[in-house]
Amino acid sequence: MSHKPFRFALQAFNPKSPAAWREMVRKTEDLGYSAYHLADHFFGPGPAQESTGHPPQLLGAVPAIAMALEMTTTIKVGCRVFCMDYRDPIILAKEAATMDYLSDGRLELGLGAGWIEAEYNAVNIPFMGIQQRLDKFEEVISGVKAFMGGEALDIDGEYIKWQGFSGIPARPERPPIMIGGGSKRVLTIAGREADIVSLNFNNRAGTLGPDGMMSGMAAQTAKKIGWIKDGAGDRMDEVELEIGAYLTVVTDHQQATASAIAEPFGMPVEDLLAGPHNLIGSVDYICEELERRREIYGISYITVLDDGENNMVEQFAPVVARLAGR
């Protein structure tokens, strides 16, 4: 498998203010990141959110993506990833196509099958079993691709029935589709269908926690790459592999920092440091480790998280400056 040039994205959760958010978006572009991502969750603080371990998501993805596209000129903007059940798929396809059209092709379209059952329950969205969700997910992917290709639509699926019209607006090239997940079937689908495969934890528990974290360690990630290859077949060289570096700490005190994080999990420090979702160390170390991981796994697209407090957009900028495009 050939190695693709490094790309870096910033994903934001809870900016302190509208002005702080606008500044973060502009910095993302100015500091050389290739993309700015949002997530697609709607619950704020409360028992439903607290039961999941997932941080609240301040901004709605669609309007924030549209505003970020308007404020920038070069970077991709998108959602990592849209949940197929949180809006009707035809509305998602139309809104995504519109944002891509009006930005001259700068949308990066992430799609996911959904996983936080408590969020579904909080607003009375039916949460189907995993096999049904993935059956629907395959139909959604196919439908969105057809819509964005400007095709005359004649889809008579179990979950999607679109007939008698064509998808508009459509550009000569549809936006790159990112499919994210951590299970065998999702990643096999992603290998077959996606332009970008986003490696994630296996969130089968419906919450963030030790089970998910352990599913993202080195051996499990290697297994996930195998599932992607199984789905991709001879198109694997066309697939870009992305990963969320959820635990990123830029520090010259690597061992002490990693020990403090690993100890509560009873995890060897070496395992924590080698986990592909973790980047803990100096700028030199992180750059070398990313090059090592690209060699091992083929991962070239890295997303770091800015929670509104850690100023990750600036902390990680030296890594971006050194590796982006290489």
The band of 123, judged by pLDDT with boundaries at 50, 70 and 90, is very high
Average pLDDT, the chain: 93
Q: Enter the pTM of the model.
A: 0.94
- Please give the span between the terminal C-alpha atoms of the chain, in angstroms, as a whole number: 16
Q: Give the domain range for residue 270.
A: 7-323
Report how many domains make up the chain.
Answer: 1
Q: Is the residue at 80 inside a domain?
A: yes
The band of 5, judged by pLDDT with boundaries at 50, 70 and 90, is very high
171 three-class SS = coil
Q: Is the residue at 250 inside a domain?
A: yes
Q: Is the residue at 293 inside a domain?
A: yes
Furthest CA-CA distance within the chain: 62
Is the pLDDT score of 228 beyond 60? yes
Q: Is the residue at 65 inside a domain?
A: yes
In the numeric block, which tokens belong to residue 159? 């979950």
Q: What is the amino acid identity at position 65?
A: I
Q: Is the residue at 22 inside a domain?
A: yes
The CATH number covering residue 67 comes to 3.20.20.30
Q: Is the residue at 170 inside a domain?
A: yes
Q: Is the residue at 35 inside a domain?
A: yes
Is the pLDDT score of 214 beyond 70? no
Q: Is the residue at 154 inside a domain?
A: yes
- Per-residue pLDDT of 192-202, as tens digits, reads 999 999 998 76
The band of 225, judged by pLDDT with boundaries at 50, 70 and 90, is very high
